[in-house]
Amino acid sequence: MEKFITLTDTAVPLEIENVDTDQIIPARFLKATDKAGFGENLFRDWRFDNNDQPNPEFALNKPEYKGSILVAGDNFGCGSSREHAAWAIKAYGFTVVVSSYFADIFKGNALNNGLLPVQVSPGFLDELFIEITKDPSVEIKVDLEAQKIGIPKKDISEHFEIDPYKKTCMINGFDDIDFLVSKLDAIKEFEQKKSHKTQATTPL
CA–CA separation, 170 and 78 (whole Å): 23
Residue 109 binds other proteins (CB under 8 A): yes
User: Considering only CA atoms, which of 185, 182, 119, 105 is closest in space to residue 147?
Assistant: 119
Among 71, 103, 118, 140, binds other proteins (CB under 8 A): 103
CA–CA separation, 121 and 124 (whole Å): 5
Residue 201 binds other proteins (CB under 8 A): yes
Helix (H) or strand (E) holding 22: helix 21-24
Burial class (CB in 10 A: 0-12, 13-18, 19+), 40: exposed
Considering only residues 146-165, where is the footprint of other proteins by CB under 8 A?
163-165
Identify which of residues 53 and 199 has a Cβ nearer to other proteins in the complex.
Answer: 199
Smallest distance, other proteins to C-beta of residue 201, A: 8
Considering only residues 35-94, where is the footprint of other proteins by CB under 8 A?
35, 45, 50, 73-75, 78-84, 86
User: Considering only CA atoms, which of 164, 126, 119, 124 is closest in space to residue 145?
Assistant: 164
Q: In the complex, which residues of this chain contact other proteins (CB under 8 A)?
A: 16-18, 20, 22-23, 26-28, 30-35, 45, 50, 73-75, 78-84, 86, 101-105, 108-109, 112-113, 163-166, 175-177, 179-181, 183-184, 186-187, 190-191, 195-204
